[in-house]
Amino acid sequence: MPIAGYDRQRFRRYALLALLCLAWPAQADLAEGKARAKMCAACHGIDGLSKVADAPNLAGNGELYLSRQLQAFRSGERKHPQMSVIAAGLSEQDIAAVAAWYSAIKVSVELPE
C-alpha cells in the first residue's frame, strides 16, 4: 500500500523534527552554561571540582539546589564575602545556565578502604 508507506515516512520525518526541537534547547543551555562557568572556574573549576581550599565541589549537585543557592547568595539570604559579590551580578538566565552545566557533570566516587 503506497499511501501507508508514504504516511509512515512522513510520520518518521515529523517525529525526528519533534525530537530535534526537544533536544536543541538542552544542548544550547549546556553550551551557554559552560561558557558562563568560566567566571566560576578559578574557584570551582570548569569541571566543578574545587580549585581552592574553601570552595565546594559543584559537579553533579542537583540543578535545583545549585540555582537555589545562587538565588540565596544574590538575595542576601545566604552570605559569603566572595559568593555574594559574584551572585549579585548573575541574571536568572546566568543562574539557570551554570546550574544546568554543573549538575550535568557526571561524578563517580570511590569509598575509602
Is residue 69 near ligand HEC by the rule CB under 6 A? yes
Q: Is 97 a binder of ligand HEC (CB under 6 A)?
A: no
Instruction: Decide whether 58 or 105 has the Cβ nearer to ligand HEC.
Output: 58
> Interface with ligand HEC includes 40 (CB under 6 A)?
yes
How far is it, in rounded angstroms, from Cα 20 to Cα 35? 22
C-alpha cell at 4: 501507508
Q: Is 104 in the site for ligand HEC (CB under 6 A)?
A: no
Cα angle value 69/106/23 (rounded, 5°): 85
Per-residue b or e along 85-95, where b marks 16 or more CB atoms closer than 10 Å to that residue's CB:
eebeebeeebb
Q: Could you list the residues that contact ligand HEC (CB under 6 A)?
A: 39-40, 42-44, 54-56, 58, 66, 69-70, 80, 82-83, 86, 98
